[in-house]
C-alpha cells in the first residue's frame, strides 16, 4: 500500500502497543498496524466498514 494513501491513526490508539491506522482508497477502507506499515493490510468495502463501525456502538453485538 502506498505511503501516500493518507493513513490516519485511530483516536482510540494509545502510544504503546495498540495502534491502528486507516486510509480511504477508491471505494475501500484499508486498515493496518501502524507499527508495521509494510505489513499486511485489511481492505473493506466502504459499506461494510460503515456497518462495522455502527455495530461498535450497538450494545446488542449487532444482532
Residue ranges per structural domain of the chain: 3-56
Q: Which pLDDT band holds residue 18 (cuts at 50, 70, 90)?
A: confident
Length in residues, the chain: 63
Number of helices and strands in the chain (H, E): 1, 4
From CA 31, how far away is CA 8, in angstroms rounded?
Answer: 9
Q: Which pLDDT band holds residue 37 (cuts at 50, 70, 90)?
A: confident
Average pLDDT, the chain: 81
Q: Retrieve residue 2's grid coordinates.
A: 502506498
| pLDDT on residue 20 | 86
From CA 51, how far away is CA 39, in angstroms rounded?
Answer: 25
Residue 52 has pLDDT above 90, yes or no: no
Amino acid at each position: 500500500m502506498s505511503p501516500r494513501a493518507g493513513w490516519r491513526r485511530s483516536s482510540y490508539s494509545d502510544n504503546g502497543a495498540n495502534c491502528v491506522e486507516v486510509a480511504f482508497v477508491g471505494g475501500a477502507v484499508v486498515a493496518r498496524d501502524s507499527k508495521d506499515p509494510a505489513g499486511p493490510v485489511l481492505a473493506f468495502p466502504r459499506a461494510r466498514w460503515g456497518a462495522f463501525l455502527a455495530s461498535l456502538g450497538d450494545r446488542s453485538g449487532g444482532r
